[in-house]
């Protein structure tokens, strides 16, 4: 983190806040949080479904979280006279703080080892950590409008927090992600993301690891590496490619807009990326986001999340990649997870990956022409 200055402070209710400033020679952050806040007492519990083996998170306290406040009451903007927010400073570059309404946390109440009256259902406290990452102090800016330098800073922050959360007691997997747009369910419009430190390996990751394990046994190679090589050689679904990264529409895409962005070298997680790979990511990701916003001529609602190896396990099977997906199947039409998807987890896509890749490349070309 030599590129930025890192300052750790404490909010009024005891939560940690970390400032990442792009001018290392500046003064450390020192503004106190003067709000009168009650202590955070999350009551998260996890229960394992005996029919699928998957963990389900119960976090009833999140029902009271802040929901779509007006811009002048945004809790992620810098504080100003008469309006104290989650960030005490009057300005910032990138800031991370513990979520006030976490899905996972330290010090959650103990629960029984099984659900009362249902001994087939294991249960435990939702031990872990949830953080909020604010990409900029500018309320009206999107991730795709950040400078390459700021994107590089955010990537460094994700890597730094991945290492930190991997040391938190109970955390088994770290997932940095961004939700963008009301159609996705975003409750705060300020450009931000989150980081979840799960107390288990997620079901999706477990399935991917099982497939990778079988492929490694049968071929001696990494399944993601073989997929990436095939997509780069074929090219029809490739959107952006550089010295270190390639973005492509997966050949079995589930979502109307579905993109994978991966490094050419197998690495298990964000901290393992080299300085050159981190520099290159900023340019490639900004080009991809330009395509996404150009697709329908409007800001695209999306989820962008990093698939990383579980904490201190399965490193040799994992291949770091960013997955970007959107529920928007047309400019004014949403893809709903209806009977087949919700009931049977069998996905039905309304377009082909080849059609979507062609449309995204065309959207990128149109955007480039407009920007000249």
Tell me if 139 is assigned to a ligand binding site: yes
Tell me if 61 is assigned to a ligand binding site: no
DSSP 341: I
Tell me if 130 is assigned to a ligand binding site: no
pLDDT at 371 over 60: no
Q: Residues 61, 192, 215, 258: which is the catalytic one?
A: 192
- Per the annotation, the verdict on 234 as an active-site residue is no
- Tokens for 213, please give them: 């394990």
DSSP 64: G
- Tokens for 314, please give them: 């399965």
What pLDDT is stored for residue 71 in this prediction? 86
What pLDDT is stored for residue 1 in this prediction? 61
- Domains of the chain, with CATH numbers? 5-201 (3.30.428.10), 204-371 (3.30.428.10)
Tell me if 234 is assigned to a ligand binding site: no
Stretch 31-35: mean pLDDT: 96
Residue with tokens 């030599």: 2
- Residue 258's Cβ-count burial label (10 Å; 0-12, 13-18, 19+) is buried
Is the Cα torsion angle 250, 252, 257, 258 positive or negative in sign? Answer: negative
> pLDDT averaged over the chain?
94
Give the tens place of pLDDT for each residue, 277-332. 999 999 999 999 999 999 999 999 999 999 999 998 899 999 999 999 999 999 99
Q: Can you state the percent helix, strand and coil of the chain, rounding each to 5?
A: 30, 25, 45
Give the tens place of pLDDT for each residue, 54-107. 999 999 888 877 778 888 999 999 999 999 999 999 999 999 999 999 999 999
Distance CA 339, CA 15 (A): 41
- Residue 311's Cβ-count burial label (10 Å; 0-12, 13-18, 19+) is buried
């Amino acid at each position: 983190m030599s590129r930025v200055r890192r300052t750790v402070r404490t909010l009024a209710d005891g939560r940690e806040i970390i400032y990442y400033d792009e001018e290392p020679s500046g003064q450390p952050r020192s503004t106190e949080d003067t709000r009168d806040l009650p202590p955070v007492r999350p009551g998260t519990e996890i229960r394992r479904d005996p029919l699928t083996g998957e963990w389900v998170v119960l976090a009833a306290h999140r029902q009271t979280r802040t929901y779509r406040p007006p811009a002048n009451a945004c809790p992620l903007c810098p504080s100003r006279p008469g309006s104290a927010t989650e960030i005490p400073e009057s300005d910032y570059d990138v800031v991370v703080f513990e979520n006030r309404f976490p899905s996972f946390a330290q010090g959650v109440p103990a629960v029984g080892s099984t659900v009362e009256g249902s001994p087939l259902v294991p249960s435990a406290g939702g031990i872990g950590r949830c953080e909020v990452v604010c990409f900029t102090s500018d309320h009206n800016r999107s991730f795709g409008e950040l400078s390459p330098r700021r994107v590089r800073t955010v990537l460094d922050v994700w890597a730094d927090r991945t290492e930190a959360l991997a040391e938190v007691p109970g955390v088994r997997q770290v997932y940095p992600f961004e939700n963008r747009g009301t159609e996705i369910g975003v409750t705060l419009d300020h450009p931000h993301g989150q980081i979840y430190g799960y107390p288990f390996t997620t079901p999706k990751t477990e399935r991917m690891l099982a497939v990778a394990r079988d492929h490694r046994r049968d071929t001696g190679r990494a399944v993601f590496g073989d997929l990436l090589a095939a997509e780069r050689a074929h090219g029809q679904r490739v959107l952006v490619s550089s010295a270190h990264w390639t973005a492509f529409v997966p050949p079995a895409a589930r979502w109307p807009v579905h993109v994978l962005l991966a490094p050419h070298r197998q690495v298990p997680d964000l901290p393992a990326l080299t300085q050159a790979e981190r520099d290159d990511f900023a340019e490639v990701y900004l080009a991809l986001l330009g395509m996404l916003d150009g697709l329908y001529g409007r800001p695209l609602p999306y989820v962008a999340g990093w698939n990383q190896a579980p904490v201190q396990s399965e490193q040799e099977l994992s291949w770091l990649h960013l997955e970007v997906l959107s529920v928007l199947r047309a400019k004014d039409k949403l893809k709903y997870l209806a009977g087949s998807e919700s009931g049977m987890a069998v996905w039905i896509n309304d377009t082909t990956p080849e059609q979507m890749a062609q449309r995204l490349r065309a959207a990128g070309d149109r955007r480039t022409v407009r920007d000249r």
